[in-house]
């Protein structure tokens, strides 16, 4: 059984993330979305809220599981019996950081492979931080995040 983990902060999940989840779920028997719960000290959404939102927008994908993790990604991958780490790349700006992380994770545990997937070009400009900035200015989030969670994001800025 081929199990992959797709880690991130997902504060909140965007359509770019969802696109990677949908595509990666077709490549592996199981895809575990890992929500880092102790990364940013000041997240907009709690780890539980982020997990719930991702579960809600991935109900149609029956081989996708969502869980939180703290600590090292390679330890989380091990706990899920995963052998692959999936990451999405949007632009060359993502490359340097992701390259460093992939090499570090490889050094920490050579059993895991990091697989990079190119973003769908229509989502290449979307990031969770841009979504939050836009939401703060009461901007239109249609097309940037799954429609099911737009109301929940807006509520945070009311």
Note the residues at the interface with ligand PNS (CB under 6 A). Answer: 7-9, 36, 39, 72-73, 101, 104
Q: Is residue 43 a contact partner of residue 12, using CB atoms and an 8 Å limit?
A: no
Q: To which H or E segment does residue 30 belong?
A: strand 30-36
Using CB positions, name the residue nearest to ligand PNS. 8
Q: Is 127 a catalytic residue?
A: no
CB count, 10 Å around CB of 74? 20
C-alpha 69, offset from chain centre: 12
C-alpha 33, offset from chain centre: 7
Q: How many alpha carbons lie under 13 Å from residue 156 in its C-beta half-sphere?
A: 18
The residue from 9, 25, 37, 128 that is catalytic is 128
Q: Is 90 a catalytic residue?
A: yes
| Nearest distance, CB of residue 94 and ligand PNS, angstroms | 9
| Nearest distance, CB of residue 110 and ligand PNS, angstroms | 14
| Nearest distance, CB of residue 111 and ligand PNS, angstroms | 15
Q: Is 128 a catalytic residue?
A: yes
- Give whichever of 40 and 138 is closer to ligand PNS, judged by the CB atom: 40
Q: Is residue 90 a contact partner of residue 124, using CB atoms and an 8 Å limit?
A: yes
- Give whichever of 17 and 25 is closer to ligand PNS, judged by the CB atom: 17
| Nearest distance, CB of residue 158 and ligand PNS, angstroms | 25
The residue from 9, 17, 37, 87 that is catalytic is 17
- The closest of 27, 45, 28 to 36, measured between CA atoms, is 45
- Give whichever of 8 and 146 is closer to ligand PNS, judged by the CB atom: 8
Q: Is residue 117 a contact partner of residue 88, using CB atoms and an 8 Å limit?
A: yes
Q: Which residues are marked as active site?
A: 17, 41, 90, 128
């Amino acid at each position: 059984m081929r199990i992959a983990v797709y880690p991130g902060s997902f504060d909140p999940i965007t359509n770019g993330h969802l696109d990677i989840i949908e595509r990666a779920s077709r490549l592996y028997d199981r895809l575990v979305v890992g929500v880092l719960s102790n990364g940013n000290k000041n997240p907009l959404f709690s780890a539980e809220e982020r997990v719930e939102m991702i579960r809600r927008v991935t109900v149609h994908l029956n081989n996708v599981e969502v869980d939180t993790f703290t600590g090292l990604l390679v330890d989380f991958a091990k706990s899920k019996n995963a052998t692959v780490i999936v990451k999405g790349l949007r632009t060359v700006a993502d490359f340097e950081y992701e390259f460093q992380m992939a090499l570090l994770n490889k050094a920490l545990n050579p059993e895991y492979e990091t697989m990079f997937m190119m973003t769908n070009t229509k989502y290449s400009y979307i990031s969770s931080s841009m979504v939050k900035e836009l939401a703060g200015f009461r901007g239109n989030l249609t097309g940037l995040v799954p429609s099911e969670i737009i109301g929940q994001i807006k509520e945070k800025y009311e």
